[in-house]
Amino acid sequence: MSNAEQQLHYSTCTLCEAMCGIEVATKGQQILSIKGDKDNPFSQGHICPKASALKDLYDDPDRLKRPVKRVDDTWEEITWDEAFDLIANNLHHIQQAHGNNAVGVYLGNPNAHNMGSILFGPYFYRALKSHNRYSATSVDQLPHHIVSRRLFGHISQIPIPDIDNTQHFMIIGGNPLASNGSIMTVPNVKKRLKAIQKRGGKVVVIDPKRSETADISCEHHFIRPGSDVLLLLAMLHVLFEKQLHRVDAILPYAEDIKEVENYVRDYSPQKVSEFIGISASQVTQLVLDFCHAESAVCYGRMGASVQAFGTLTQYLIMLFNMLTGNLDKRGGMMFTQPAADVLPVSGKGSMGGFTSRVRGLPAFAGEYPVACLAEEILTPGEGQIKAMVIGAGNPVVTTPNAEQLDKAFAQLDFMVAVDFYITETSRHADVILPPVTALERDHYDIVFHNFAVRNFAKYSEAVVDIDKDQLTDWQIYLSLAERLDALNGKSTAHYAALWEKQPKGVVDDLLKAGLYGRNANKYKDADTHSNETSTVIPAEGLSIETLKAHPHGIDLGPLQPSLPHALFHEDKKVHLDFDYFMADLNRVNTHFFERENQSQSMVLIGRRHIKTNNSWLHNSPRMVKGNNRCTLQLHPDDGAKYGIGDGDEVNVKSRVGQLTIEAEITDAMMPGVVSIPHGWGHNKKGIKLSVASQHPGVNTNILTDDLQVDELSGNAVLNGVPVILEKVS
């Protein structure tokens, strides 16, 4: 290895949704450096600080490379075959004794960035035959999926802001400068937002915090957490009151769109202003500015989703885009045309069908809301979860009422974790199966090309070779599925073809069958931007081999208007589904207008930082160095009210828990609102995260309440959580 030549590889950073191209220098199995790939036509050399953490994950001495099993309070390395047999036999035994639903599955969001998990993980989940499936979706973007499934016919047919062409970008509850975009795959979002302003457009941010994105916007408005639904209802009210709605383009596909007026008639800006913290005149002006722009898009993200009315809020955002003539329009909300389009061959997303055993929360797309996971483990009776499989997730840190879930996991009969760290969650496992890191496997973004602000395709081969006794996620899941099927007496003959095909073979099939395969150039638009590289699609169309020959990726042009082709309903219409969504207005009215003595207690929101990625970059020294980022941010007026100064220790208490945290006084916070970042709290006994343990922070999900959910979807309420503050004397 010492005589190996230095090599350059062109890959993709998988640590967020932006899909930034990276240039990785290696020497043998050593990663020397990671830089932005200047020849990548999508990201054009841009990377954020997180990209270097890919090297840290690869080099981390705390990382597991081979399976381990628990022996009392220690971990013992075992072979893969021993691990697979141990797991399959235990899961089979538990299901034989207690039923299929006695085994639960939780999937973390790294699975979405992993083509092997996306494409081959389902073989294992189906082999389990359990309804008890959970994921990070229900502490995040579940409302988007429900809105898209009901309106457009597919769980993942979510229209994306055409940021490169819009003249007016309204952001509600999103901070893309910290998140790098979210359900909007957008490298170098700062440059793109500034470009809107350079061409005479406007960026407006509505958020309880003056975020990094708000700092570079044209206009920022504080909003009371959880009240976004009232803002949207009032904006729609103004739209009809002032006859600003433009429905000619959408009317052929949504014939009942004008009926929205009947539902929003009672929500004037004057009626809602005291609840949202934005004056009636400002609400009206927001609508006027939006409607007078040549093109405009309203984008609501995490802050708008993880609240009590998150699903209705996201629905109203979509209606606002439709009623202003900005759906499927250049510069508005547009559908993507991905090269490897998995949507036509994947499930559209089942709606309902069954509810959770204890609380009766709705299932969606085969998953229950994770807010009910702990009670399904802790509550005895038929269907009680006795074992868990955790795939690339850390729900003890990332889901509501985290201490209760920690307690629940401790009483399981058996747990397996697919993870290369011993985390707050995987420390409860009986067996841990460590997959390789991102740079050790082939990569194609199955999910995020579907959410990209420009059509683009890129395939990356593994940057470094793995040892012969290391496995990828797809090999782990396929091995478990094969063993479970054998134990259940099912044929396993079909697995031979899957082992041979591999996930890259599935991607190859999707590329060849896609819009740019035999139908190459069908969506190609000559109107490419002068500052972007555009590659002509080869005559034979796209395939894995084509993309290997273009290691920087291939630009496929701007997003294209695509109605009615983009609709998955058989009638090729948009189903507005008023009976489902607008029924939630009764709950809105009760919550805001029919309760006496409305409490104006302090409420908690989360926040993101460019150097963090949920719970799993805190073991990288370069990602945690510098000032303490895990602080309680609060407005100076609230500091004075509670006698809290900058740097003071504060007890924060909610219905379900309490914690102590350092205060950070800042006028960037709306009065009455406090913020704690998500993903910290690395102080549990038994974790093996040497760097993170030195920078533990606190777990904000000790405070979030598992009983507080958006009733329409079951999505967790992580914003607008009532809390009590007390300075530590």
Q: In the CATH hierarchy, which top-level class contains the domain 1-142+342-557?
A: alpha beta
Residues 605 and 224: beta-carbon distance below 8 Å = no
Residues 115 and 507: beta-carbon distance below 8 Å = yes
3-state secondary structure string across 622-691: HHHCCCCCCCEEECHHHHHHHCCCCCCEEEEECCCCEEEEEEEECCCECCCEEECCCCCCCCCCCCCCCC
Give the pLDDT confidence of 195-230 residue by residue, as tens digits: 999 999 999 999 999 999 999 999 999 999 999 999
Q: Are strands 632-634 and 160-161 parallel, antiparallel or unpaired?
A: unpaired
Query: Does the predicted TM-score (pTM) go above 0.85?
Result: yes
CA distance 596 to 489: 61
CA distance 403 to 701: 8
Q: Name 225's Cβ contacts closer than 8 Å, sequence gap at least 6.
A: 208, 303, 307, 603, 605, 673, 719, 720
Give the pLDDT confidence of 352-395 residue by residue, as tens digits: 789 999 999 999 999 999 999 999 999 999 999 999 999 999 99
Residues 21 and 9: beta-carbon distance below 8 Å = no
Give the pLDDT confidence of 460-469 residue by residue, as tens digits: 999 999 999 9
Residues 507 and 459: beta-carbon distance below 8 Å = yes
Is the backbone of residue 311 left (phi > 0), alpha (psi -120 to 50) or beta? alpha
pLDDT reading at 519 higher than 70: no
Q: Does domain 143-338+570-584 have CATH number 3.40.228.10?
A: yes
SS3 356: coil
What percent of the chain is predicted at pLDDT more than 70?
Answer: 96
Q: Phi and psi of 257, rounded to 5°? A: -60, -35
Give the pLDDT confidence of 525-564 residue by residue, as tens digits: 433 333 343 556 778 899 999 999 999 999 999 999 999 9
Give the pLDDT confidence of 637-677 residue by residue, as tens digits: 999 999 999 999 999 999 999 999 999 999 999 999 999 99
Residue ranges per structural domain of the chain: 1-142+342-557, 143-338+570-584, 593-727
Q: Phi and psi of 45, rounded to 5°? A: 90, -10
Residues 278 and 221: beta-carbon distance below 8 Å = yes
Q: What confidence score (pLDDT) does residue 531 get?
A: 37
pLDDT reading at 257 higher than 50: yes
CA distance 137 to 120: 19
Better-predicted residue by pLDDT, 187 or 599: 187
The domain 593-727 is classified under which CATH number: 2.30.140.10, 3.40.50.2300, 2.40.40.20, 3.90.1150.10? 2.40.40.20
Among candidates 377, 204, 239, which has minimal Cα distance to 316? 239
SS3 50: helix
